[in-house]
């Protein structure tokens, strides 16, 4: 078990205990209360609970009926032409709610949320009617000449990637990201969490970063439940060739790596959650639920750390999940750059801290790729000097 699995667990228990509990699908609860004491205080506790519920109920009724400060909400939208763009950019108004659950904006019930998401997924899906490309976006990555612009440029200059842009679904985490998505005419879906502002740069392992990562896992679990396969990609992954031609046909869950040590089935590889291809079936739906639950047993860890902690768990084998690891020779990154541009499919700006450093080196990736594509083949092969990256420079 790697270092992530050895971290401390909740309530003073260690992560090994957490993993054992997680694997069994249960939890532990110690009960040292004496039944006589419990009986003695039962009546007073019941009275207090009743009073609390009455106060909360009255408060909710007042807010619902008298609120003068409606919250501006915005809705999911799939671009299909200039007319729709001009007519559908206004948001909907909704009164504040006493419900404290995470909510997808512009709808009032989980059923409506799901219907709105399914409508957007259907619009973005490929010819098989069930595969979409999903990325998440917040305001920090939408500035002019920023990471999102470079992400879009990679599709435009990649080999066989231009048409894939039609199937990209941008999950916007704030209003500015949503508006930017509409401007570039992609499929857009607004996803917010009540009381949390995801608009700023979320520094690695900060509280906001962790919330953002786990919100993403929860959302992707919902996509699988709706029956859609997806490629999830961070916006700092450059798409340079069509990845669907390189995925393993027998994999349920396929993921890129920070470091690819072994073969494509070996769980000792180091996965990176910024790029993965997942097929919707009972196995992956159970797996994503198991993964998301893992945050409770490995507190303070992000999704990638928890994946490393659970990838060898007996539960994975029990549900029959076929996990595959993508070779960095094709799906590389700044942690472990691919060695030959003739094989490159994607390039991820991982192992990089700081927005400016990331943007600088991604621009070098774009320049390297352009130079590679305009080089004149000599004797049936490209000039050797153009087949290698000049990055990373500030990252890695």
- Domains annotated on the chain, with CATH: 99-386 (3.90.550.10)
Query: What is this structure's pTM?
Result: 0.72
Please state the φ and ψ torsions of residue 209, each to the nearest 5 degrees.
-60, -45
Query: If DSSP codes are grouped into helix, strand and coil, which group holds residue 69?
Result: coil
- What gap in Å lies between CA 335 and CA 269, rounded to an integer? 13
Surface-to-core class of residue 28, CB atoms within 10 Å of its CB (0-12 exposed, 13-18 middle, 19+ buried): exposed
- What gap in Å lies between CA 243 and CA 331, rounded to an integer? 9
CB neighbour burial string for 250-289, b if at least 16 within 10 angstroms, e if fewer: ebbbbbbbbebeeeeeeeebbbbbbbbbbbbbebbbbbbe
**Tokens at residue 287, please?**
């797996």
Contact 191, 212 (CB under 8 A): no
Q: What is the pLDDT along the chain (396 residues), one digit of tens a residue?
A: 433 333 333 333 344 444 444 544 433 334 444 444 344 443 454 445 555 555 445 444 433 343 332 323 233 433 333 232 233 333 332 222 223 223 333 434 566 667 889 999 999 999 988 999 999 998 989 988 899 999 999 999 999 999 999 999 999 998 999 999 999 999 999 987 665 554 555 444 456 667 778 889 999 999 999 999 999 999 999 999 999 999 999 999 999 999 999 899 999 999 999 999 999 999 999 999 999 999 989 988 888 999 999 999 999 999 999 999 999 999 999 999 999 999 999 999 999 998 999 999 999 999 999 999 987 666 666 667 688 999 999 998
Contact 389, 368 (CB under 8 A): yes
Contact 94, 73 (CB under 8 A): yes
Terminal CA-CA length for the chain: 25
Q: Which candidate, 150, 147, 125, 145, places its Cα nearest to that of 137?
A: 147
Non-local CB neighbours of 132 within 8 Å, separated by 6+ positions: 121, 124, 125, 126, 167, 168, 169, 187, 223, 228, 229, 230, 231
Beta bridge partners, 137, equal: 172
Instruction: Annotate 84-140 with DSSP letters as a single string.
Output: HHHHS-PPEEE---S--S-B-TT-SSHHHHHHHHHHHHHHH--TTSSEEEEEEE-GG
Please tell me the predicted confidence (pLDDT) of residue 199. 52
Please tell me the predicted confidence (pLDDT) of residue 325. 98
- What gap in Å lies between CA 237 and CA 368, rounded to an integer? 15
Please tell me the predicted confidence (pLDDT) of residue 13. 39
Please tell me the predicted confidence (pLDDT) of residue 49. 54
Please tell me the predicted confidence (pLDDT) of residue 291. 96
Q: Residue 12: left if φ>0, alpha if ψ -120 to 50, beta else—which one?
A: left
């Amino acid at each position: 078990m790697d270092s992530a699995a050895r971290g401390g667990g909740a309530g003073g228990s260690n992560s090994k205990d957490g993993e054992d509990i997680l694997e069994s699908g249960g939890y532990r609860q110690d009960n040292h209360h004496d039944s006589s004491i419990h009986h003695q205080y039962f009546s007073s506790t019941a009275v207090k609970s009743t009073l609390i519920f009455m106060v909360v109920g009255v408060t909710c009724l007042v807010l619902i009926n008298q609120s003068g400060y409606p919250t501006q909400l915005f809705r999911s939208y799939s671009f299909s032409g200039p007319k729709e763009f001009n007519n559908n950019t206004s948001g909907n108004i909704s009164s504040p709610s006493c419900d404290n659950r995470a909510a997808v904006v512009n709808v009032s019930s989980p059923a409506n949320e799901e219907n709105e998401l399914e409508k957007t997924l259907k619009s973005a899906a490929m010819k098989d009617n069930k595969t979409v490309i999903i990325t998440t976006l917040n305001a920090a990555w939408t500035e002019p000449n920023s990471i999102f612009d470079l992400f879009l440029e990679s599709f435009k200059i990649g080999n066989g990637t231009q048409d894939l842009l039609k199937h990209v679904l941008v999950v916007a985490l704030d209003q500015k990201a949503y508006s930017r998505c509409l401007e570039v005419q992609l499929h857009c879906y607004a996803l917010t969490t009540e009381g949390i502002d995801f608009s700023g740069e979320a520094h690695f392992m900060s509280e906001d970063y962790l919330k953002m990562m786990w919100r993403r896992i929860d959302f992707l679990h919902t996509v699988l439940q709706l029956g859609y396969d997806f490629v999830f990609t961070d916006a700092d992954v450059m798409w340079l060739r069509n990845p669907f031609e390189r995925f393993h046909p027998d994999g349920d869950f396929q993921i890129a790596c920070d470091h690819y040590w072994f073969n494509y089935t070996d769980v000792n590889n180091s996965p990176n959650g910024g790029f993965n291809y997942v097929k919707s079936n009972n196995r992956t739906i159970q797996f994503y639920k198991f993964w998301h639950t893992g945050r409770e047993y490995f507190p303070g860890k992000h999704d990638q750390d928890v994946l490393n902690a659970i990838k060898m768990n007996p539960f994975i084998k029990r549900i029959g999940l076929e996990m595959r690891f993508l070779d960095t020779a094709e799906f590389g990154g700044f942690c472990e750059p691919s060695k030959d541009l003739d094989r490159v499919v994607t390039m991820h700006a991982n192992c990089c801290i700081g927005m400016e450093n990331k943007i600088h080196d991604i621009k070098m990736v774009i320049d390297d790729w352009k130079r590679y594509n305009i080089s004149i083949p000599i004797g049936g092969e490209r000039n050797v000097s153009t087949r290698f990256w000049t990055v990373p420079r500030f990252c890695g």
